Amino acid sequence: MKKILITGGAGFIGSHVVRLFVNKYADAQIVNLDALTYAGNLENLKDVQDAPNYRFVKGDITDEQFIDQLFEKESFDAVIHLAAESHVDRSIMDPLSFVKTNILGTAVLLNAARKYWKDFSNKLFYHVSTDEVYGSLGESGFFTEQTPYDPHSPYSASKASSDHLVKAYFDTYGLPVVISNCSNNYGSYQFPEKLLPLMINNIIHSKPLPVYGKGDNVRDWLWVEDHARAIDVIFHQGKLGETYNIGGFNEWKNIDIVHLLCTIMDKKLNRPEGESAKLITFVKDRAGHDKRYAIDATKLNKDLGWKPSLQFEEGMEKTIDWYLANGEWIENVTSGAYKEYYKDQYVSR
Ligand code: NAD
Ligand code: DAU
């Protein structure tokens, strides 16, 4: 029976990865390690919390002693590492917590794997990373696995650094690693500080919709469950030492996606056409705001056969319906630290 450590499993993407693995691999033991920061909520995993092959461990990946003891005690066969500080705006306000969690935390995990995996055969350390490490694109072109790293925000610099550490452990110690770099995810259980759930929540409450700058920055959107499926494929079939880009060839300007949301939500909330769009408010741009991201996921498709399952419009409908049906979840996760942190900003709480 394989024992797989998933870090950050109480977060947005991590909870989808945990759910997929718990449900799909009954013969594997899934251990979810999470510090339960403002972004981590066990509410995200209610449907699998009692599964016999699932266990939650509360802990901090930067706590070396704790991580070492955990690795010594548990004899993991593999790690899927998602725990991170993930929000760019927070990294601008508080860069050091990103350095600590994303760089030091990854180093602590890598080092524990190096020390406690006596034999590297049939082991895997999988680092889940971001397309933001590649920097920003102009009007055309795509990020490929060969694109040089050029991060601009403290968040992306910390993720680039952690990717480099993972590669260094492969080159130096022969630790069996794989990395994936994914584009912007959307879907259920995303903390409502990120663009889409923030806008959906604010539309529901008729609050201003803060669009940074002119709204002409471009992001490449992928349904979170397709990301989780890609992680499953790479985990089982990825080549050691390799990087795989994950994305859906689905670019949108921020302002266009906000208009699309407004149109769909006017219908769902029985509002007159154009009502929600009146809430759009252009605000000061994000510092160092990357202009455009676009992932070339050809390698993942050609080598491992993965492709996205959902058309974007269908994914958006599903996502909006989920947030409309889960007001209590939004209520629960946004009370507390989140409320305090964002008290002066354009959010609905
Ligand atoms: P998230 O912020 O929703 O979740 C992060 C999780 O990590 C939370 O559960 C949090 O409690 C946990 N965590 C934070 N610090 C920790 C620590 N010190 N010890 C243990 N646990 C800790 O993030 P997400 O959006 O689900 O992203 C997950 C991973 O995927 C991150 O590594 C992120 O860089 C990467 N990623 C995200 C996206 C995206 O669009 N959201 C895209 C590509 C890659
Ligand atoms: O590309 C992958 C990355 O996508 C992940 O690695 C990050 O963890 C994830 O947070 C996301 O980063 P972004 O900065 O692209 O996502 P965010 O939702 O914060 O912003 C998306 C775009 O919308 C970006 O151009 C900034 C803009 N924006 C965002 C917010 C929160 C606004 O215009 N207004 C807002 O209120």
What spacing in Å lies between the alpha carbon of 34 and ligand 2's midpoint? 23
Give the per-residue pLDDT at 332. 86
Query: Is any ligand 1 atom within 6 A of the Cβ of residue 40?
Result: yes
Q: Yes or no: say if 130 and 156 are a contact pair by the CB < 8 Å rule.
A: yes
**pTM of the entire predicted model:** 0.97
Burial of 303 (0-12, 13-18, 19+ CB in 10 A): middle
- Judge whether 132 counts as a catalytic residue: yes
CATH 3.90.25.10 spans which residues of the chain? 195-218+253-289+312-342
Reported CATH class of domain 3-186+221-246: alpha beta
Residue range 71-84, pLDDT digits in tens: 999 999 999 999 99
pLDDT, greater one: 159 or 1 = 159
Q: Of the residues 34, 60, 85, 132, which is catalytic?
A: 132
Residue of 129, 178, 117 whose CA lies nearest to 156: 129
Query: Is any ligand 2 atom within 6 A of the Cβ of residue 131?
Result: yes
Give the per-residue pLDDT at 334. 86
Give the per-residue pLDDT at 346. 42
Give the per-residue pLDDT at 312. 93
Q: Determine the 3-state secondary structure of 79 from DSSP.
A: strand
Give the per-residue pLDDT at 339. 47
Residue range 39-48, pLDDT digits in tens: 999 989 999 9
- Judge whether 25 counts as a catalytic residue: no
Query: Is any ligand 2 atom within 6 A of the Cβ of residue 156?
Result: no
Q: Domain 195-218+253-289+312-342 adopts which CATH fold?
A: UDP-galactose 4-epimerase; domain 1 (3.90.25)
CA 195/CA 347 separation, integer angstroms: 11
Question: Is the dihedral angle over the CA atoms 160, 166, 169, 171 positive or is it negative?
Answer: negative
Give the per-residue pLDDT at 348. 36
CATH 3.40.50.720 spans which residues of the chain? 3-186+221-246
Query: Is any ligand 2 atom within 6 A of the Cβ of residue 218?
Result: no
Q: Determine the 3-state secondary structure of 33 from DSSP.
A: strand
- Judge whether 155 counts as a catalytic residue: yes
Say if residue 349's pLDDT is above 80: no
